[in-house]
Amino acid sequence: ATPTALLVGTGRGAQLGILIKGPEVLESTRRVDTIVLDKTGTVTEGRMSVVSVVPEQGTDAPELLRLAGAIEHASEHPIARAIASAAAADGAVVELPPVESFQNHEGRGVTGVVEGRAMLVGRLSLLEDWSVHPSAELLSAKADAESAGQTAILVAWDGVPRGMIVVADEVKATSAEAVAQLKALGLTPVLLTGDNQAAARHIAAQVGIDEVIAEVLPADKVAVVARLQAEGRVVAMVGDGVNDAPALAQADLGMAMGTGTDAAIQASDITLVRGDLRAASDAIRLSRRTLGTIK
Ligand code: ADP
Ligand code: MG
């Protein structure tokens, strides 16, 4: 393609809500065969809400939500926001108590002290690291929630398992259509997430993705992209989070949701302004058409 054609292509992109960093980006769309999609905020809305509160025997559900909400109030994570706002909105809760100490464990959960209680709130492995083991009943309820595409957050204090809070997110209305379009362009979609396997599989099935890489720690997302490249695949990635930025930079073609974080946008070659995944296939189709590889 001539330089003029490339500029026309990037200009046409801007009209479609696809911001392309420079004409040279178009070239990298040519050989892309795999597209890695971050789950939360990319395929799903990224707005979590609390679906249910399930106490262990002997624990009071409003108390579970109140103490978990208090510690999560100190975190910015979408899961934390959902739990803190559900706790604040609970009629049985007068006021959330202050947090006496707090530690965030990236991709795993939070720990700290509330009203003198040593809190653990997060994924199962976080509790297990402190030798806290939830009951068989709770683990079975957790498995049920996860196979329905939900995320179970476990809660313990003072070394005793107290229950779980189930949160859920909604798949974006346009995600399934977007995945179908990406496949029609000959790309293999891969769902990448820190969330549990069962929930990730459920969401993947809802939108038509066969390949799922779940339970990946935030710092390991970049290694997943590098591994796919080492297998000889040419990788595009779409993401929105601060955690996604290194992987977006590593990918042969990085695309950020315009609704996402500045870090993701800066690390990417293309910004999808409206946060609609269909723009990812529009971007690849437009680039290839501009390069004259498809009509
Ligand atoms: P994603 O890839 O969906 O953005 P993360 O990597 O941020 O997910 O988190 C992975 C998992 O770690 C979550 O599904 C949850 O189980 C746990 N987790 C992370 N942050 C928190 C938190 N603030 N409170 C409870 N659990 C958390
Ligand atoms: Mg995300």
HEC readout, the chain: CCHHHHHHHHHHHHHCCEEECCCHHHHHCCCCCEEEEEHHHHHECCCCEEEEEEECCCCCHHHHHHHHHHHHCCCCCHHHHHHHHHHHHCCCCCCCCCEEEEEEECCCEEEEEECCEEEEEECHHHHHHCCCCCCHHHHHHHHHHHHCCCEEEEEEECCEEEEEEEEECCECCCHHHHHHHHHHCCCEEEEECCCCHHHHHHHHHHHCCCEEECCCCHHHHHHHHHHHHHCCCCEEEEECCHHHHHHHHHCCEEEEECCCCHHHHHHCCEEECCCCCHHHHHHHHHHHHHCCCCC
How many domains is the chain built from? Answer: 2
Both 130 and 24 in a single domain?
A: no
Both 33 and 105 in a single domain?
A: no
Both 160 and 221 in a single domain?
A: no
ipTM for the assembly: 0.95
pLDDT tens for the chain, 295 residues: list them: 666 767 667 777 878 889 988 878 888 888 899 999 999 999 999 999 999 999 999 999 999 999 999 999 999 899 999 999 999 998 888 889 999 999 999 889 999 999 999 999 999 999 999 999 999 999 999 999 999 999 999 999 999 999 999 999 999 999 999 999 999 999 999 999 999 999 999 999 999 999 999 999 989 999 999 999 999 999 999 999 888 999 999 999 999 999 989 999 999 999 999 989 999 999 999 888 887 754 4
The pLDDT, as a whole number, for residue 2 is 67
What pTM was estimated for this model as a whole? 0.88
Separation of 55 CA from ligand 1 center, angstroms? 20
Q: Is 110 in the pocket of ligand 1 (CB under 6 A)?
A: yes
The pLDDT, as a whole number, for residue 294 is 46
CB burial of residue 76 (10 Å; 0-12, 13-18, 19+)? exposed
How much is the CA Rg of the chain, to the nearest whole Å?
A: 21
Which residues are the active-site residues? 38
CA-nearest residue, atom 16 of ligand 1: 123
**Nearest ligand to the C-alpha of residue 77?**
1
127 closest CA partner among 152, 104, 156: 156
CB burial of residue 231 (10 Å; 0-12, 13-18, 19+)? exposed
Q: Residue 295 falls within a domain, yes or no? A: no
- Structural domain boundaries, residue 57: 49-168
Separation of 8 CA from ligand 1 center, angstroms? 41
The two three-digit tokens of residue 29, written as one number = 């769309």
CA 251 to mean position of chain CA atoms: 17
Both 284 and 237 in a single domain?
A: yes
**Nearest ligand to the C-alpha of residue 219?**
1
Both 163 and 57 in a single domain?
A: yes
Both 156 and 53 in a single domain?
A: yes
Q: Residue 126 falls within a domain, yes or no? A: yes
Q: Is 80 in the pocket of ligand 1 (CB under 6 A)?
A: yes
Q: Residue 200 falls within a domain, yes or no? A: yes
Question: 153: domain CATH number?
Answer: 3.40.1110.10
Q: Is 195 in the pocket of ligand 1 (CB under 6 A)?
A: yes
Separation of 114 CA from ligand 2 center, angstroms? 28
CB burial of residue 89 (10 Å; 0-12, 13-18, 19+)? exposed
* CA-215 nearest atom, ligand 1: 10
Both 121 and 198 in a single domain?
A: no
Both 53 and 10 in a single domain?
A: no
